[in-house]
A and B are shown apart, each in its own frame.
Chain A
């Protein structure tokens, strides 16, 4: 069920209605049932994967939690025994207790590791086996071997990258004692499978989502209105903008031999708009649906295109993925024992400056490599991820230079300078995304190069734009739609747009605006016959 299918819309209406009609006790089970029905529509075979990941991480969490409770009790017991003097200090003294505690922690860590390895193992097999085989075959051919390994025939289960990450974060958080394990298996299954975020995130943490997920919410017109507003806005982005410009992007990418030079720049800009509208629109729909049910979900974007540098961009784009990588990969690696040792060693031998950075850079490298391969099992994504790494490192290294520059030239609060920074970030990110467009590393480099070698910007005026599957009126809509996006984003800088509307406008005015928006979606949306090709871009990850 695509978000833009009639089936999905009908499904959501039915589910929300049922949610408020059913008695309290049945509310969260309804969500679980709904989530599995939703997942079933993606393919019944995929149910096994999500069920397996759920069972594995549920058991791991439970075992860790149990061990912790038991260990704490035993620890207190040992302390009491020492006090009463009924046991020898060697057995219950401070040292003995510490040993006991560490041993138990080790046990928990083992359980966590097994759980994570199993859960990620499933992801690895379905997502990366063929990529690995492909590369092995490549190596074989380099060495002149005619042997080739056969590919596995597995379809990538919908949303597996998202729910696996969510489930893994749960196990780690239980281990880190952020929260207790969920004892009710079905409640836990709901956390893993909560349908609106199954397709493309956000990647929620159990500690955040569980607060309201199982709470039975009473019907409230206000809650419903606000959720619905968000959903409608999401559909506007997705259906009116993303799905329309998609046609042109695909046309440009499909014929790289024809569309060189300035058209590569066009791909950069168009794809930036498409991805933004598609991904944030999808997340708006996701969060809006959850809001209609009274369940807050973590934001995944914070006007990313207004970022002043790439590091900031990554704190504002796909936020839940970024924090996931920071919390569960970057920190664990960079503060791990070996890494600290390496840091010490390199400081001694390579100097303070290099030594300090080495661990951070190494951890960053691993994070960006992983981020790349998480987006897709192919080299273009890996190069894309590492491209981000390189740019961030360079800007980090240039920091002292910037500081010098700013000392000489006062740019504080200068709109022109901010605009320059924002423009620079947008261009850099769009250029990196070319790897995602052309899906072929050498080709991407080549196409990027043509921007500087092929001066064909004059042909833009000669009607080529009309050959990309869009007509003049499409461009008008895209232009107006983009202006609306920017305006709403600007208003949103000083706080939630919906809050402002609620404060300043009577119900009738709000209603009018959203009716108009619905009409715009219905009339100007790129949907229906002839527009079937569009799938959410993030679906496949």
Chain B
């Protein structure tokens, strides 16, 4: 073989390898596109599932981060915090978001920024093991890939779930092919923003009625697994110089037991943290009127209730923790102006 022949052969081989690589990429993209199409969109209904991902689109450093379950993302108006105190905050909350999920979502957020204060709603300590696949997916699918996401999934998986279904969501959602709606096509590649910095706004009013009687507690203590993650959260905040505030949001149900409250008081004392049981002071100090400030009979706040809660908590953040107004930053002002516009539209229907 002459030298040119050798070279030709080599060129041919390189071209072939390049072609195969290009085809691999093309196939990968095609499959990814189908994957995106089949994932639940959480746009029209069950919009809670869209919350986790919206964190990455928000503007600026957040001075305050909320983590927790529905008692945070429905009960605190981030817009109110901005309007009244100039506080740039975000709620990393999700439906029945478990303690370890809150922990890893916080860990994930700390990869991008370091807030001044983290507010954690303690209700989810009542769950000591993974609960429900659907809620897992809503809390975790929106996370960007990182060690935190991996660990969050590992900590959260119920029986029958597997990591690979999270890595390749198509494997989990493929059977949705016969349930696809126009929504899936509309939001195939782009999504609307449904929350207001993690706050989920509701305007309906449904006065609180009688709650079902509280069942006696089998074990008055929170589970060890859940508490271990609270410890981790405390340590993480300490390490990063972040102040951690524990709250129990003023939702009337699930029942918040005295025993649980006592444990939280104890825990806060032992770790030098602030613990606010907002239930106790809901009417007297926060000014909640359970006849008008809830949209589902006292389980969650509507927008007026959420504004009252935010107003109350904001004052503490400013007075006790010295959170200062972030107003004046042009980009941030523009960003919030846009959020406020959406907020007012949604609020005033």
Q: Hey, which bits of chain A sit against chain B, CB under 8 A?
A: 6, 221, 471, 473, 507-508, 511, 515, 518-519, 522-525, 527-530, 532
Contacts and interface: CB of A to CB of B under 8 A. Distances in A.
Interface of B: 16, 19-20, 23, 26-27, 30-31, 34, 38, 133, 160, 162, 164-165, 170-172, 174-175, 177-178
A6 B31 contact: no
A515 B30 contact: yes
B23 A522 contact: no
A445 B203 CA distance: 67
Given A508-B23, A511-B23, A528-B175, A523 B30 contact: no
B174 A529 contact: no
Given A524-B177, A528-B172, A528-B175, A519 B23 contact: no
A41 B146 CA distance: 30
B139 to A, nearest CB: 18
Contacts of B133: 529
A529 B160 contact: yes
A519 B34 contact: yes
Nearest to B164: A6
A364 to B, nearest CB: 47
Contacts, number: 49
Contact of B162 (A6, A507, A525): A6
A221 B16 CA distance: 10
Contacts of A530: 175
User: B26, B170, B172, B175 — which one has the most chain A CB atoms within 10 A of its CB?
Assistant: B175
Given A471-B178, A528-B172, 4 more contacts: A221-B16, A511-B27, A515-B30, A530-B175
A523 B23 contact: no
A508 to B, nearest CB: 7
B174 A525 contact: yes
B162 A522 contact: no
A522 B170 contact: yes
Given A221-B20, A508-B23, A511-B23, A529 B172 contact: yes
A522 B178 contact: no
Contacts of A527: 171, 174
A507 B30 contact: no
Contacts of B160: 529, 532
Contacts of B16: 221
Contacts of B30: 515, 519
A522 B27 contact: no
11 contacts: A221-B20, A471-B178, A507-B23, A515-B30, A519-B31, A522-B171, A523-B177, A524-B177, A527-B171, A528-B165, A528-B175
A523 B19 contact: no
Nearest to B30: A515
User: A473, A518, A522 — which one has the most chain B CB atoms within 10 A of its CB?
Assistant: A522
B19 A528 contact: no
Nearest to B160: A529
A473 B179 CA distance: 10
A453 to B, nearest CB: 37
A6 B171 CA distance: 10
Shortest Cβ-Cβ A-B pairs, 7 listed? A473-B178, A515-B27, A511-B23, A523-B174, A6-B164, A523-B177, A522-B170
A528 B27 contact: no
Contacts of B23: 507-508, 511
A471 B177 CA distance: 13
A265 to B, nearest CB: 27
A444 to B, nearest CB: 34
Nearest to B37: A523
B164 A528 contact: no
A444 B148 CA distance: 57
B34 A523 contact: yes
Contacts of A528: 165, 171-172, 174-175
A429 B314 CA distance: 78
Nearest to A529: B160
Contacts of A525: 174
A221 B17 CA distance: 10
Nearest to B173: A528
A518 to B, nearest CB: 7
Nearest to A511: B23
User: A508, A525, A529 — which one has the most chain B CB atoms within 10 A of its CB?
Assistant: A529
A523 B16 CA distance: 30
B129 to A, nearest CB: 19
Nearest to A476: B178
A296 B175 CA distance: 36
A473 B171 CA distance: 19
B19 A507 contact: yes
Nearest to B13: A221
Contacts of A507: 19-20, 23
A146 to B, nearest CB: 44
Nearest to A473: B178
A6 B23 CA distance: 24
User: A519, A522, A523, A525 — which one has the most chain B CB atoms within 10 A of its CB?
Assistant: A523
A525 B173 CA distance: 11
Contacts of A522: 31, 34, 170-171, 174
B29 to A, nearest CB: 10
B191 to A, nearest CB: 22
A520 to B, nearest CB: 10
Contacts of A508: 19, 23
User: A511, A525, A527, A530 — which one has the most chain B CB atoms within 10 A of its CB?
Assistant: A511
Contacts of B38: 523
B168 to A, nearest CB: 9
Contacts of B31: 515, 518-519, 522
A18 B233 CA distance: 42
B135 to A, nearest CB: 15
A525 B174 CA distance: 8
Contacts of B20: 221, 507
Contacts of B19: 507-508
A221 B38 CA distance: 32
Contacts of A511: 23, 27
Nearest to B163: A6
A412 B23 CA distance: 49
A287 B160 CA distance: 30
Contacts of A471: 178
A527 B170 CA distance: 11
A507 B170 CA distance: 27
A522 B38 CA distance: 11
A134 to B, nearest CB: 35
A221 B23 CA distance: 14
A44 B42 CA distance: 45
A6 B164 CA distance: 8
Contacts of B174: 522-525, 527-528
A98 B289 CA distance: 112
Contacts of A529: 133, 160, 172
